[in-house]
Amino acid sequence: MTSKPHITIRSGGQTGADRAALDWAISKGVPHCGWCPRGRIAEDGILNSKYHLLETETKNYPERTRKNVEDADGTVLLSISDTLTGGTLLTQQFAQRFNKPWLHLHPSLQNPAQSLQYFIERWDLRDINIAGPRLSTEPNICKFVEEVLNETFGEAVLHK
């Protein structure tokens, strides 16, 4: 992509892939939003107010997951494993239920960033839900998310 992307990163704020996507967006000046559980709960405590997330009516993680899938143009699932489990699998199931485009990226794919760029262009995505495993489940997920987003958007956001 040659100019600053016209996207919004949406995520639920959980540790791991969610938080890595939000932190990337904040560091690059890319708008972000999303839903988090009531009380702004996450596996490591209360979410910092720097994350511009709305609270769901309950503390139920699946409610947050569903609302982020529903409100986004499409969902990108990033994981180290090539198999979806837990909340990441639930996210994919919600995307299928609501007939929303989704893409699963993992390091064993030949070029995850190129796949993401094609996915965004094919579906003309502007509001992208990014989800994946918690940090406690996949300790290396944050680095993978950051690498994929940097490679996908390159210089377009590295010099805001």
pLDDT at position 60 is: 96
pLDDT at position 155 is: 58
pLDDT at position 159 is: 40
pTM above 0.75, yes or no: yes
* pLDDT tens, residue by residue, 33-57: 999 999 999 999 999 999 999 999 9
* pLDDT tens, residue by residue, 133-158: 999 999 999 999 999 999 999 855 54
Q: Per-residue DSSP letters for 31-73?
A: -EE-EE-TT-EETTEEPPTTS--EEPSSS-HHHHHHHHHHHSS
Residue 112 CA: distances (Å) to CA of 13, 65, 118, 127, 138: 22, 23, 10, 19, 18
CA pair distance 125, 146, nearest whole angstrom: 19
pLDDT band per the 50, 70, 90 thresholds, residue 113: very high
pLDDT at position 160 is: 41
pLDDT at position 80 is: 98
pLDDT at position 158 is: 46
The domains of the chain, with CATH numbers, are 8-158 (3.40.50.450)
Gyration radius from the chain CA atoms? 14
